Chain A
Amino acid sequence: MKTTLLAVIAVAAITGVATAEPIPAPADQLRFQGIWKLAGGDHSTVKTTVGKLPPMRPEARARYDAAVAARKAGKPTGDTAETCLPPGLPRAIFYPQPFHLIVEPNQVTFLHEYMHLHRLVFIQDALPANDDLDQNWLGFSAGRWDKGALVVRSRGFNDKTTIDTAGIPHSTELMLTERLRLVDKDTLEDVITIDDPKTFTSPWQTKITFQRLPDDTEIGEYICTLTNPEAVKK
């Protein structure tokens, strides 16, 4: 009985949206809309909120150390982002290029200057099980509003990207939970919980802050393959 009721509510929730005139997002959500840019700091090496390296399992740590050593020695690191492939999450938001954040009732969209990436966060969706998702470069993101914050859960990632430029690896079991909140009207904070039991001994958190840019800021045309012509020949 309970299941049926839930099902009816679920059907109503989904089909209800389909017939009505679109309703604008509430004002407190629309405050997130705008053009944002990383607020200082180099995020090529990501640390936990207490300034430490994340708790990598030995095998992951060995891969990380190898990537760091290779980069230092100027040798290939196997970093797919260097060949113009989408850098995955959370790395896509660690770049210094600005992004548009667009808030609609059913979708929050990140339009990045970096590689002109589109990241779609679906507000109505429950997060599907990892097995029900294809493995994509930017995963699948489901969001919900919670006490004025936007909570985004993402999974369905391939394992070809790294958490940061330095080379923290992850598996296809990667699951991100981001809590985005406005510290003030021009400061956006994203606290990211990174969970991947195959790679880390426990979930860990990192924090990133964005500064609002003027509304007339124009997003540039960032074409990775123009400056890396070899990238398309791989």
Chain B
Amino acid sequence: MAASRAAKFTAALAVGLGLLSGSAPAATLYRPEVSSKDPRDLSGVWFLRRYNRVIPTLEGTPPPMTERAKLEWAKRVVAEANGAPIADASSHCWPHGTPRVMNSPYPLQIFQTANQVIIAHEVAHNTRYVHMQRGHLTPAKVSFMGDSVGHWEGDTLVIDTVGVDDRTWIDEQGVIHGPKLHTVERIRKIEDGKAIENVVTVEDTDFFTKPWVFRDTYAWRPDLRLTEYVCEENNRNAPQDGVTVAK
């Protein structure tokens, strides 16, 4: 996982500017201080505000897990406590999956094209494609990031995702899912464009007794650029026989 050369350069530039203008160095901004006034223009770099490896529901409770899900969760918690954590997709450098990738403490950059909203994540250079001009494929095509389709409801981008490979987890602790996972994300700008919120409904009748909701917010970060994150380089957590090995 290489350090940010861009950050090094940015710092040098910021110091340089500070010296030239005779004031304290200010952060270099690559984009406007506030995101576009267009509520449907989400393009730019955003950063998760509250990172938590466990994802609580809106009510602050653990997700409403079925008996099967509770057993799987307990197995993972115990394995980790015993120093032999069970590997999830990300341990193998596979894509993190949805919604897990949205809960990463790394910046993401949103791009919008005629047909798609694309979310490029710094973490493991995950890329999510949200198809704006079609519904879900039948039969569903399974992938690690799932099949995401989107539409606008007013100024809210609604992303519906199915077909998420069940080797991905929901959180980092042990809340997992099966092939029936269905998420609906509702993303909109808040705080005059200085942040976006994502209200996520998670549904999987095999793993949850009822749909549950969590909310994340992401700050507009004009001072950041995605840097190179290479999971495959020196992966200290490469699993052996399904167990994550900390080297």
* A residues adjacent to B (C-beta < 8 A): 7, 10-11, 14-15, 17-22, 33, 83-86, 100, 102, 104, 106-107, 109, 111, 115-118, 120, 122, 124-125, 128, 132-138, 140, 156, 215-216, 218-219, 221, 223-226, 229, 231-234
Instruction: Decide if B232 touches A116 in the complex (CB within 8 Å).
Output: no
B228 at the interface (CB under 8 A from A): yes
Instruction: Decide if B238 touches A19 in the complex (CB within 8 Å).
Output: no
Complex alpha-carbon distance, A7 and B13, angstroms = 12
Instruction: Decide if B120 touches A221 in the complex (CB within 8 Å).
Output: no
What are the 6 closest A-B residue pairs judged by CB atoms, nearest first? A134-B5, A18-B29, A232-B238, A84-B232, A225-B93, A221-B143
Instruction: Decide if B120 touches A137 in the complex (CB within 8 Å).
Output: no
Residues from chain B with a CB closer than 8 A to the CB of A120 are: 225-226
What is the interface of chain B mostly: helix, strand, loop, or mixed? loop
Within 8 A of A (CB), among B154-212: none
Complex alpha-carbon distance, A104 and B143, angstroms = 29
Complex alpha-carbon distance, A225 and B2, angstroms = 19
Instruction: Decide if B144 touches A102 in the complex (CB within 8 Å).
Output: no
In the complex where A11-B17, A233-B240 touch, is A33 in contact with B113 (Cβ < 8 A)? Answer: yes
Residues from chain B with a CB closer than 8 A to the CB of A86 are: 228, 230
Complex alpha-carbon distance, A11 and B36, angstroms = 22
Complex alpha-carbon distance, A229 and B40, angstroms = 40
Please give the distance in Å from A220's CB to the nearest CB on chain B: 8
In the complex where A22-B36, A225-B92 touch, is A138 in contact with B232 (Cβ < 8 A)? Answer: no
Residues from chain A with a CB closer than 8 A to the CB of B125 are: 115-118
Residues from chain A with a CB closer than 8 A to the CB of B54 are: none
B66 at the interface (CB under 8 A from A): no
Residue pairs across A and B with Cβ atoms less than 8 A apart, 7 shown, are: A14-B28, A17-B29, A18-B29, A86-B228, A133-B8, A156-B5, A226-B92
Instruction: Decide if A221 touches B29 in the complex (CB within 8 Å).
Output: no
Instruction: Tell which of A84, A107, A216 has the most Cβ of chain B within 10 Å.
Output: A107
Complex alpha-carbon distance, A115 and B31, angstroms = 28
* B residues adjacent to A (C-beta < 8 A): 2-6, 8-9, 12-13, 17, 20-21, 28-33, 36-37, 41, 43-44, 92-95, 109, 111, 113-115, 118, 120, 125-127, 129, 131, 133-134, 143-145, 222, 225-226, 228, 230-233, 235, 238-240
Complex alpha-carbon distance, A10 and B115, angstroms = 36
Residue of A nearest to B147 (CB): A218
Complex alpha-carbon distance, A231 and B239, angstroms = 11
Residues from chain A with a CB closer than 8 A to the CB of B17 are: 10-11, 14
Instruction: Decide if A232 touches B36 in the complex (CB within 8 Å).
Output: no
Instruction: Decide if B131 touches A136 in the complex (CB within 8 Å).
Output: no
Contact of A136 among B2, B31, B43 (CB under 8 A): B2
Residues from chain B with a CB closer than 8 A to the CB of A118 are: 120, 125, 127, 226
Instruction: Decide if B226 touches A111 in the complex (CB within 8 Å).
Output: no
Instruction: Decide if B32 touches A18 in the complex (CB within 8 Å).
Output: yes
Residues from chain B with a CB closer than 8 A to the CB of A20 are: 32
Instruction: Decide if A19 touches B129 in the complex (CB within 8 Å).
Output: no
Residues from chain B with a CB closer than 8 A to the CB of A11 are: 17, 20-21
In the complex where A100-B118, A118-B226 touch, is A109 in contact with B111 (Cβ < 8 A)? Answer: yes
Instruction: Tell which of B12, B226, B232 has the most Cβ of chain A within 10 Å.
Output: B232
Instruction: Decide if A15 touches B29 in the complex (CB within 8 Å).
Output: yes
Complex alpha-carbon distance, A221 and B8, angstroms = 32
Instruction: Decide if A18 touches B33 in the complex (CB within 8 Å).
Output: yes
Please give the distance in Å from B247's CB to the nearest CB on chain A: 10
Complex alpha-carbon distance, A107 and B225, angstroms = 10
Instruction: Decide if B9 touches A232 in the complex (CB within 8 Å).
Output: no
Residues from chain A with a CB closer than 8 A to the CB of B2 are: 134-137
Instruction: Decide if A21 touches B32 in the complex (CB within 8 Å).
Output: yes
Complex alpha-carbon distance, A221 and B6, angstroms = 27
Instruction: Decide if A85 touches B228 in the complex (CB within 8 Å).
Output: no
Please give the distance in Å from A142's CB to the nearest CB on chain B: 10
